[in-house]
Amino acid sequence: MKICKKYWPILLIAVVTFIVFKDLPWAYFEQDEWHSFGHYIYLNSLTPIDFLRNVFPGGELGHFTPLSLTVKMIIYKIVGLNAQYYFYVSILLHFLTGIVLYSLIYLLTTKKYLASLAAIFFLVNSSHHQAVTWLGTFEGTQGAALFGIVSLTFYVLYRQKRKFKFFIWSLLTIFLSFLFKETAFTFVLVLITLIIMAKVKEKRKLLFSIFIILGFYFILRLSFGFFSVHNQSAVVSGNRNIIDRIIYNQLSIPPQLFAQTLLPLNVYVKLTDKSSDISDSMTKYSGYYINISDDQIIIFTSIFILLILSGLLLLRMRGTLFPSEIKSNEGNLLLKDLAIIGWLIIFFTSIPLLPVVNKSLLLDSRYLYPATLGMSMILVALVGSFKDAKYLKFAVVILLILLTLAHLLLLQETINGLVIEGHERQNILSQIKTVISHLEDETVIFAESDKPFYGLTDRILPFQSGLGQTLLVNYRQSQKIPPPFFTNEFLWDIKDEGYQKYDNLGFGFFWNLDNLVKTLTKNNLPIESVYGISYDSTQKKIVNITGRVRGEITGIFDKKRETDLSSVISAASYNQQETRLAIDGQRETYWNSQTPYFKPQYFTIDLGKNVQISEITVDSFENKDQNEVGYKIETSLDSKNWQEVFWDKRRPPLQNGVVEIYLPHILARFLRIDQIGYHQFAPWVISELKIYEKIN
């Protein structure tokens, strides 16, 4: 019982962490993780000297994160592509950061309830969820924040205990923070500011020690940059542009950090949704036309929150920061120390972001992780300042709890979405490996989806980075893949296509059939090396379309001529009397099914003789409602025995309104085209149907 009474805050924090994140391990990798895994595969193939030269990108914009890299590489070495264990490590780091935050606040206030409130608000805060839920960045972001807050805790211990060993530990942990990620600058700037503001005799000695550590870090960083391989980096065009960006960010990011770490993201989404209503109301009551943009809504809200919080803190607290004698009670003196540390953390979080963040409405979630530590401190400092007004204090605590619950609910919703999305991606990869169990000496994969994702117009599968590299990393777990495949960001970008060959293994990945055909021609690759997969987003399954794709490629390579349709017999499931308009040679006239094509419908042609069909084009001309069409094509020699030669659930027209369908010179007299797409209102329209036959 005594142990429970003593450590109840730790147990409470652990239970809350478990409840909130218990489902997260069933999510999956999202984006940059695949690039990292490919990089590790390449690094592990190098000699020690080449490893050191390639481990970090050269150039002034390259990251120097040795501990982050080491942690991720060790996990990858042990568990491979088992995402659950990465999430376990991420949740553990997040939990430890919350515990250290609890310890720091308890040192300054000696109040467990304040420290517990702050830790729980930080742990369940939805604003920074990417730092925990995105496995591409978790170890760097969390590692830097964990050791940064540990460094500040040791500094407080040094000031309270007057033992220099605690300051040594503060220096060591801030150095470790730098080795995880450059965002450690946030915490070193806070530390320097605290020392400058402190009334201590050894101020110069302390500052000198910090600059020694910083100097050693920069020497280490520059030495790696000098000896490493220099990759080409993106360069900001023009000094003026980057200066403008820094000035804008310095004015806008601090208020954004205050606002976005306090309120859940959905609050700002609702505010921007109401921007037009707000503009109309202000115009009505002022008599002048006023237009409030989404950017202005966010900026005004951010500045308002910054002013309110800062004003409340100034009104509630007095005293100086870290005087020579620190009191060990909950007076306004120590609460102000806590509030100022929190304010400094938020302000200095913006410094590393100034040159890299473009002007944006809302900051990326992962950037908010250190700032949320600061916001947690500010809020509990404000709660503690109401010690003489019990009812008001109770009301503020209730508000903080409600705010925490709002964050918790949004975080749970986010995690649930990630789990669903992750399960979908895992199933896709598993099904692809069922269709293509291993890579042959020459393997070229064509992959398509029945719809686009992430706002793109191209029908790629639901992966946020290149599926080609993702597949290479996956196949690497069961067969030897030459390491050069994982260099030069081959197939890494979300829309990347291409083909490479190393050590007698050729691999290509395409979503554009024309580019695939050009690659086959250029590299003299056999059609048999091509495999096709299609993703059915409704049924969440991969369809093997290898036969269809190989057939289309055969049809593309065929020499062909247009078949004369002037004397053929045509028929249709609907509007039979106008079928000739689809084959009259005039785009301006068209056949219309007069029935929405969510209903099954077909169009048939009797060519009157057997021909080797290599291509069919369906032209809808200027009709804009044919983007959901899909086709099943059957052929016959006698109109009794039919064979399916083509199937595509969704085959939208090109920009010119034409759908091109290639066939492997199928011998047929009768042709049946079934519409298998779906549109609730629009009829199927054919302005012109053309058939091309192979020339022997």
Contacts 24+ apart (CB under 8 A), 286-289: none
Of the candidate ranges 109-113, 223-227, 666-670, the one whose mean pLDDT is the lowest: 223-227
* Average per-residue pLDDT for the chain: 86
User: In sequence order, what E strands does 179-235 have?
Assistant: none
Q: For residues 277 and 573, which has the higher predicted lDDT (pLDDT)?
A: 573
Of the candidate ranges 264-278, 332-346, 426-440, the one whose mean pLDDT is the lowest: 264-278
Q: How far is CA 648 from CA 300, 549, 556, 674, in A?
A: 50, 10, 17, 10
What mean pLDDT comes out for the span 309-326?
56
pLDDT in tens, 57-91: 544 445 788 899 889 999 999 999 999 999 999 99
The alpha helices in 350-449, defined as continuous H runs, are 369-384, 390-435
Of the candidate ranges 35-39, 135-139, 384-388, the one whose mean pLDDT is the lowest: 384-388
Of the candidate ranges 254-258, 361-365, 548-552, 640-644, the one whose mean pLDDT is the lowest: 361-365
Distance CA 257, CA 251 (A): 11
Contact 27, 415 (CB under 8 A): yes
Of the candidate ranges 9-18, 81-90, 245-254, the one whose mean pLDDT is the lowest: 245-254
pLDDT at 324 over 50: no
pLDDT in tens, 393-440: 788 888 889 999 999 999 999 999 999 999 999 999 999 999 999 999
Distance CA 11, CA 3 (A): 10
138: exposed, middle or buried (Cβ count in 10 Å: 0-12, 13-18, 19+) = buried
What mean pLDDT comes out for the span 334-344?
85
Written as one string, the DSSP assignment of 110-133 is --HHHHHHHHHHHHT-STTTHHHH
Look up residue 544 and give its two tokens: 């093997």
* Confidence bin at 332 (pLDDT 50/70/90): very low
What pLDDT is attached to residue 209?
A: 92
pLDDT at 322 over 50: no
* Confidence bin at 527 (pLDDT 50/70/90): very high
pTM of the prediction? Answer: 0.86
What pLDDT is attached to residue 223?
A: 78
pLDDT in tens, 170-181: 999 999 999 999
Q: Name the nearest CA neighbour of 297 among 315, 323, 319, 277.
A: 277
Q: Name the nearest CA neighbour of 300 among 266, 258, 264, 339.
A: 258
Distance CA 246, CA 116 (A): 36
Domains contained in the chain, CATH given: 16-229+239-412 (no CATH), 436-556 (no CATH), 560-694 (2.60.120.260)
pLDDT in tens, 506-515: 999 999 999 9
* Confidence bin at 292 (pLDDT 50/70/90): low
What pLDDT is attached to residue 287?
A: 63
Quick one: what percent of the chain has pLDDT higher than 70?
87
Helix (H) or strand (E) holding 313: helix 294-316
What mean pLDDT comes out for the span 568-584?
93
What pLDDT is attached to residue 259?
A: 84
What pLDDT is attached to residue 247?
A: 75
Instruction: Give the orientation angle of helix 239-262 with respect to helix 369-384, to 10 degrees.
Output: 40
Q: How far is CA 319 from CA 198, 331, 337, in A?
A: 12, 10, 9
What mean pLDDT comes out for the span 481-486?
93
pLDDT at 670 over 50: yes
pLDDT in tens, 680-693: 999 999 999 999 99
What pLDDT is attached to residue 241?
A: 65
Q: For residues 490 and 234, which has the higher predicted lDDT (pLDDT)?
A: 490
Distance CA 656, CA 621 (A): 7
